[in-house]
Amino acid sequence: MSTNTLRWFATLAALAAEGAAAHHSFPALFDPSATVTVAGVVTEFQFRAPHCYIRIDAPGSAGEPVVWELETTSPGQLIRIGLTPERLKPGTEISAVGNPSRDGRTLMRLLRLTMPNGDELEIQ
């Protein structure tokens, strides 16, 4: 093998290892034994790999808006179930069920999403 080929493989291996290290473990971040339900208005839909994120404003205990972040699956999987940025736009009222974060943040691993027309989408 030439030196350039070896360098190319070494670079490729380093990039792959970096991506794998950046990916987190769901059970370490989220509590799979618990679920939480939150209803609110979509403010942002980040449709990008490796996981898409939906941000919603939900009413807090005193009526103040609380920002929730809903971590989903990959864009390809969302497309297969019919959840696209064209369908889920800012201003859309949704209900979400998911596994809460272990550290108390307003973050969940999204399991199920209910759209305004009543359609339920199984995310995970």
d(CA 117, CA 124): 21
Average pLDDT of every residue of the chain: 86
Read out DSSP for 4-54?
HHHHHHHHHHHHHHHHHHHSPPHHHHB-TT--EEEEEEEEEEE--SS--EE
pTM: 0.79
- The answer to whether 108 and 100 have CB atoms below 8 angstroms apart is yes
Q: What is the pLDDT of residues 6-41, one digit of tens each?
A: 455 444 444 443 444 445 678 889 999 999 999 999
Give bridge partners of residue 94 from the DSSP assignment: 40
Q: Does the domain at residues 26-122 carry the CATH identifier 3.40.50.2300?
A: no
Two tokens at 61? Answer: 């205990």
